[in-house]
Amino acid sequence: MNKPIIAIQKDHQLLTSGRYQSFSARWHELAAQQGITTRAIDIFSNATDGVAQLQDCDAFMYWFAQPPSVSRPARKLIASLAHVSKIRVFPNLNTIWHFDDKIAEFYLLRLAGIPIPKTTVLWSRDQAVEFITTATSYPLVLKLTSGIISRNVELVHNAKAAHRCVQELFGSGMHTLPPPNFPFRWYLKRILEASRILLCRERDEEFHKGYLLFQEFLPGNDFDIRITIIGNRAFAFRRHNRPNDFRASGSGRIDWDPTQIPLDALMLAFKTAKTLKTQSLAVDILRRNGEPVIVEISYYYEGWAVAACPGHWQLQNHFPQPIWVEGSMRPEDAIWSDFIACLDIQ
């Protein structure tokens, strides 16, 4: 039997925290330590050569981030491999098809029976106008389908503000929400979008138009709980909101104290990952009437924050509750360990 070959696409990502991250470099390092053969590939060389590099490989790994320039080809390749290839893949299709798409996340979690805030997705101007005119639960949380570190998320305080969102999202559309509380913010947005078109400038961002997504506002949450599930492990920390803001993601105000992580939040995260059959899943949890609900999910995250956890919880057979395992662990190491175990080449 030939020695298995794992193809690894290079990733070298500048994170929002200013750090650089490369899971691929670590995977090559771990493979060398364990005598496992890897091949550095480049799916971006061109469409034909990128695929050809995989033909005699047994597995493929790629830790790709949100920008469309990398996520679009990665999604298409992984979806194609899921349909016609026996090559094992990380991340697999279950893990990433909904990545950075809040509407897809909503449909998936709702159909899976996972507790989430009340969410409304509107696909026509008439639907949207009717909804915001009759809504009695302002403020609402407006979300664009894509965006990280709380970008493209804001509070809409009344029907007048909501009508402006309808006008923009069912009108000219946008790449991103303009800065909140900025004078003439929508006028500024139109100038910036027009200048981009006139100057033929490309932006590595999704364009948003023809939909509206509102989520109920959950008051009384001064932080969220970020739990990352990799296999049977849970890494968790709290993220406190920005000053005078309801948003926690990207605040940088992280509390890694494991005693502050409640069991019901951990069990909800484990249940969600098991239900969705994901290899890697980060969930953001808030409280709704005292009960944990999942606000967003993502396969991708900044590894340094997970590695800074002083330990992790682990589900084990015959134990009804997760067991605490002391000591930090890099998420790329956990992913690698699970992946080579499924290949049976340890």
Domain positions in the chain are 5-96, 118-216, 219-343
Residue 200, pLDDT score: 47
* Length of the chain measured in residues: 346
- Identify the pLDDT of residue 251: 79
**Closest residue by Cα to residue 92 from 273, 283, 320, 291:** 273
CATH number listed for the domain at residues 219-343: 3.30.470.20
3-state secondary structure of 39: strand
pLDDT at residue 284 greater than cutoff 70: yes
- d(Cα 79, Cα 58) in Å, to the nearest integer? 16
Please report which confidence band the pLDDT of residue 292 belongs to, taking 50, 70 and 90 as the band edges.
very high
Contact at 8 Å (CB) between 216 and 79? no
Q: If you average pLDDT over every residue of the chain, what do you get?
A: 90
Q: How far apart are CA 66 and CA 218, in angstroms?
A: 26
Q: What is the mean pLDDT of residues 282-300?
A: 96
pLDDT score of 327: 98
Beta-carbon contacts of 185 under 8 Å, excluding residues fewer than 6 positions away, are: 178, 179
When computed from its CA atoms, the radius of gyration of the chain, rounded to whole angstroms, is 21
User: 302-327: per-residue pLDDT in tens?
Assistant: 999 999 999 999 998 878 899 999 99
Q: Which of 76-85, 232-241, 288-297 has the lowest mean pLDDT?
A: 76-85
Locate all alpha helices (DSSP H) within 220-307, ordered by sequence: 263-276, 303-307
CA distance 30 to 34: 6
> Looking at the domain that runs over 118-216, which CATH code has it been given?
3.30.1490.20
β-strand partners of 226: 237, 284
Same fold, 118-216 and 219-343: no
Question: What is the C-alpha separation between 171 and 213, in angstroms, rounded?
Answer: 15
pTM of this structure: 0.91
Q: What is the pLDDT of residues 163-205, one digit of tens each?
A: 999 998 999 888 888 766 655 566 666 666 655 544 445 567 8
pLDDT, average across residues 246-268: 93
Is the pLDDT at 262 greater than 50? The verdict is yes
- The residue-averaged pLDDT of 10-24 equals 86
Contact indicator for 27, 332 with CB cutoff of 8 Å: yes
β-bridge partners, 287? 292
- Taking 80 as the threshold, does the pLDDT of residue 346 lie above it? no
Q: Say whether pLDDT at 16 is over 80.
A: no
Q: Check whether 85 has a pLDDT greater than 90.
A: no
